[in-house]
Homo-oligomer: A and B are copies of this chain.
Amino acid sequence: MLSRQELIDQIKQKKSFLCVGLDTDLDKIPDFLHDFEDPIFEFNKRIIDATADLCVAYKPNAAFYETYGVKGLQSLIKTYEYLPKNCLSIIDAKRGDIGNTSDRYARAFFDKKASGMGFDAITVTPYMGHDSITPYLAYEGKWIIVLALTSSVGSHDFQYLQTNEGLLHEAVINKVNTLAGAERIMFVVGATKGQEFENIRKHAPNNFLLVPGVGAQGGSLEDVCRYGITSECGLLVNSSRSIIYASNGKNFAEAARAEALKLQTQMATELEKAGIL
């Protein structure tokens, strides 16, 4: 489990604020892995081994494991166990429900004794309000990463609605920040909108932001940093497909490392520009 200060220390040490998204898909992994008993885990293991010194977080996307039923869940649990302890482990689950049910999701992903998994952080969707968030806060030191502004086309349907408390995603950030401090709460903010980060920072000056959309979805790392970086970095930039599927040959892990290294090198530059290194 990484505290805020430990996360910042890792970022400085590794000169990286990269999160590697493990959206592992049986149809996309190299053929030779299908000869193993657990191809998903074998893929993840090799990706983790190849990238662990270049990133500060890993984010398995729950949907990709749930697709495969019991086998998928077993792969997810093994992946969780394999994640390096000096990286933040994020389960991208996007759950959101009433209090007594959110409490169950918290156990499912935070309480290793109950479920076999004890992730450091979970992504949560805010539609149902504060009782879909507070149950997770009962787990000391764990992080809750709340959807604010996402990177897909559907984000325009509701997240930009003008409300009597600002744009909907602003209202979400403001409300959620009354529930706990920046040592427990992060927000998901999509990278397809570099300049948006300037506005987001007005509402979330200190929170870490988990940023999808760099790479496969077209966002620019430089723009994200120009408008979103803070004196403590405050960013975790996620890349999934562009790293893990850089090649589907025998060399996939080396290719993933090369892609991660490109991003880490850019990140080192950005951290220097921001005076953090």
**A residues lining the B interface (CB < 8 Å):** 23, 61, 63-64, 66-70, 72-74, 77, 94-102, 104-105, 107-109, 111, 114-117, 125-132, 147, 150-159, 161-165, 168, 171-172, 175
Contact = CB atoms under 8 A, between A and B. Distances in A.
22 contacts: A61-B101, A63-B95, A63-B97, A63-B101, A63-B105, A66-B104, A66-B109, A67-B111, A67-B115, A69-B73, A73-B73, A94-B97, A98-B150, A98-B151, A98-B152, A126-B157, A127-B159, A129-B154, A130-B157, A158-B171, A158-B172, A161-B168
A80 to B, nearest CB: 11
A249 to B, nearest CB: 23
B125 A66 contact: no
Contacts of A104: 61, 63-64, 66-67
Contact of A153 (B111, B131, B158): B131
A165 B154 contact: no
A129 B107 contact: no
Given A125-B127, A130-B154, A117 B69 contact: yes
A67 B108 contact: yes
A108 B108 CA distance: 17
A46 to B, nearest CB: 22
A94 B161 CA distance: 22
Contacts of A131: 152-154
Most B-side CB within 10 Å, residue of A67, A68, A128, A132: A128
B126 A158 contact: yes
Contacts of A130: 153-154, 157
A165 B154 CA distance: 16
Given A101-B63, A163-B163, A116 B70 contact: yes
Given A96-B127, A99-B154, 7 more contacts: A69-B114, A72-B108, A98-B150, A125-B128, A126-B157, A126-B158, A161-B171
Nearest to A147: B127
Contacts of A96: 94, 96, 125, 127
A98 B156 CA distance: 12
A175 B157 contact: yes
Contacts of A67: 104-105, 107-108, 111, 114-115
Contacts of A114: 67-69
Nearest to A164: B162
A74 B63 contact: no
A101 to B, nearest CB: 5
Contacts of A100: 23
